[in-house]
Amino acid sequence: MKFLFVAINSKYIHSNPAVRILREYALAHDPSIPEEELCILESTINNPFEEILSNVCEQEPDVVLLSCYIWNWNVMRHLAQEISERLPDAVIWAGGPEVSFESEKILRENSWLSGIMQGEGEESCLKLIQSFRAGNPLYGILAGGEVQMAELPFIYSEDALESFQNKILYYESSRGCPFSCSYCLSSVSRRVRIRPWEKVEKELDFFYRAKVKQVKFVDRTFNCDHEHCQRILRWILGHDNGVTNYHFEIAGDLLNEEEIALLAQMRPGQVQLEIGVQTTNPDVVKEIRRTMDLARLSANVEKIRQKGNVHQHLDLIAGLPLEVLSSFRKSFDDVYAMKPDQLQLGFLKVLKGSYMAEKAADYGIIYMDEAPYEVISTRWISADEIKLLKRVEDVLEVFFNTHQFEASIKALENCFDSAFDMYGQLADYIQMMNYDLHGPTRLDRYQILFQFAMQTDPEKEDLWKEALTLDYYRREKAKKRPPFANDRKPYEKQVRLFYEEGLPKRDHVDLFTYSVWEEETRRLDPPAFLDFDYDHLSPLDHNAGIRVIGYLQEENHLL
C-alpha cells in the first residue's frame, strides 16, 4: 500500500515537522512497515493549486493524509474534493489543529473525507496505517492520546539535510503550556511534558555539528521550566559553531536573572526571542485569562536590549475583548517604548476549540466564517478601526520591522506625541495619496517616507535627507545615488583620499551634518565623514557597520 502525507506550508522557508514525526514514529514502532510505503509531499500555499493536485495524483496513493492548519485549510479542503474525483479509490484522512475540533461537523460538510485524526497524531496515525495494511480499514474519528516525549523520533539526519536547504528546522523539546489564554489552543491542556535531557543534548549536538542556519523551537513557552530552559541555554552557550541561530518563544516576565545572564553571553545573533505581550491593559489581560507581570517583562526586555546581542520580537493582538482603540493605542506605545527589534501587530483569530470561540457571542465578536477566522469587529472596536489597524500593521512591517529606516523613523518620532499616532498618520497619508507601499523598487518606499516627513515638518528638510541617506546606504552600496541625498561633488576630492589611504573600494563614504546614527541626534561642526562597511553587517538587523573616519576640512566646509 502507499500512504501519502501531504503538507502545505505558508512559505517556502517553512517545513512541516508533523508529517515527518508521524512517518518516523510509525516506522520506529512497526518494523514491518516498508519505508517506501510512507511518502511525503510538501508544498506551499503559493504553489499553483493544479500543480499540487497533479503531484498528489501522480503518486497514486491508496491513503492520503492531510496535515491541516489555519493557513492551509481552505486549500486542503479543495484538494481533498478534487482528489476524491480524480482518484475515487483513494481514502482521504485529515489531521492537525484545524480539524481536531468540530470534527463531526467537518466530516458532514466534507463528504470526500473518510476520517479525521484528533489531537496528537502519533498513536492514531500508527493505528490507522496498521489497520489499512491488515485489510481492516478505519473510518470516522480517531482520537489521539498523549505520546511519551521520550518516544518522539528525531526527524533530521545528515542524509536528509539537503532537503532542508534554505529552510527553517523546527525542533520540539516540550509539549503543552502551563497557561490558559482564552485565544490559544495550547490552553486546552495545561500540562507541560519535557523531552528527556539525554535526547535533547544529542539532538542539539546534531544541529551544532551540521552547522544548520536556524533551529526554531516550537515549545509554546520555552522558559516555563527553568531547569530545562537553563540546561539548553548553557549547552548552546558552550557549543557555538558561529552559524546556528536558535529561536525561542518565551514568557518575558518568567525570565530570571540566571537566564538573563546566560543570554547576555551569547554571540550576537546566536539566539532570538519571541515574546507575546498581546496587551498592556490589565483588565484585558485578566479577561483573556492570561497572567503577566508587565513591569517585570518590560525590565527583562530592557536588560536584554542593553546588551545588544539578542534579537527580541514582541507581539500584540488587536481585537481582544474590552480593548477599545484608545486602549490598544496605549498598548502599542507601551510595547514600542520597549524598543523591540520587531513588533508584530497581529489580529485576534477565533480558533475552534478555544475558550474565545465559546465567548465570541457574549463579546459581540464578528469574525471571518472561513480560515483564518480573523476578527472583523467587537463590542469595543469597530470594523473601520480594525481596518485602520490593518493599515498600521502594513506600514509597521515596512518601516519598522525591516530595519531599513531606523534613523529616519527615530528622527520622525520627535514630531509626534505617540508612536501609534506616527504610524497611523503615515498609514493615512499613504492611503490618501494612493501610494503603493509595496512598489517595484526599494527606493519607492524611501521616497514615500521623505514626502511624509516633508509634510510633517518641511523646515527639517536637511535632517530628513541625511537620515534617509544613512538608512539607504546602510542597507547596500547603491549604484545610483538617491534623489534625496545631498550633492557629493563639493567634497568628492576628500572622499577619494580615504580610498587612497586604504579604505576598501567596496565601502561607501558620505558626509553628514547631523549625527543621525546616534541615540540623540545633534548638529555636527565640522560635518563628519561616515564609512559604511558592507563586510561587517550586523547579525541582528543586517545593516552595514558604520564609523566616523574624518571631518570635513576647512577649505571644503561648504555646508
Q: Which pLDDT band, with edges at 50, 70 and 90, does 555 fall under? A: low
The owner of cell 508529517 is 19
Per-residue pLDDT, 559: 37
**Cβ neighbours of residue 89 under 8 Å, at least 6 residues apart?**
62
CA dist list (Å): 213 to 166, 267, 279, 476: 8, 14, 32, 22
Binned at pLDDT 50, 70 and 90, residue 347 comes out as very high
What contacts 126, CB < 8 A, 6 or more positions away? 25, 26, 29, 30
Tens digit of each residue's pLDDT (9 = 90 or more) over 493-522 = 999 999 999 999 999 999 999 999 999 999
Per the model's pLDDT, the better-predicted residue between 479 and 265 turns out to be 265
- pLDDT exceeding 90 applies to what percent of the chain? 94
Size of the chain in residues: 559
Rg of the chain over all Cα atoms, to the nearest angstrom: 27
Q: Give pLDDT, residue 438.
A: 87
pLDDT band at 557 (very low <50, low <70, confident <90, very high): very low
Domains along the chain with CATH numbers: 3-143 (3.40.50.280), 156-371 (3.20.20.70), 474-556 (no CATH)
On the question of pLDDT at 16 being above 90, the answer is yes
Q: Which pLDDT does position 191 carry in this prediction?
A: 86
pLDDT tens digits for 87-112? 999 999 999 999 999 999 999 999 99
Please check the confidence at residue 189 and state whether its pLDDT lies above 70.
no
Buried b (16+ CB within 10 A) or exposed e, 121-155: bbbbbbebbbebbeeeebeebbebeebebeebbbb
| Inter-residue contact 93 to 116 (CB < 8 Å) | yes
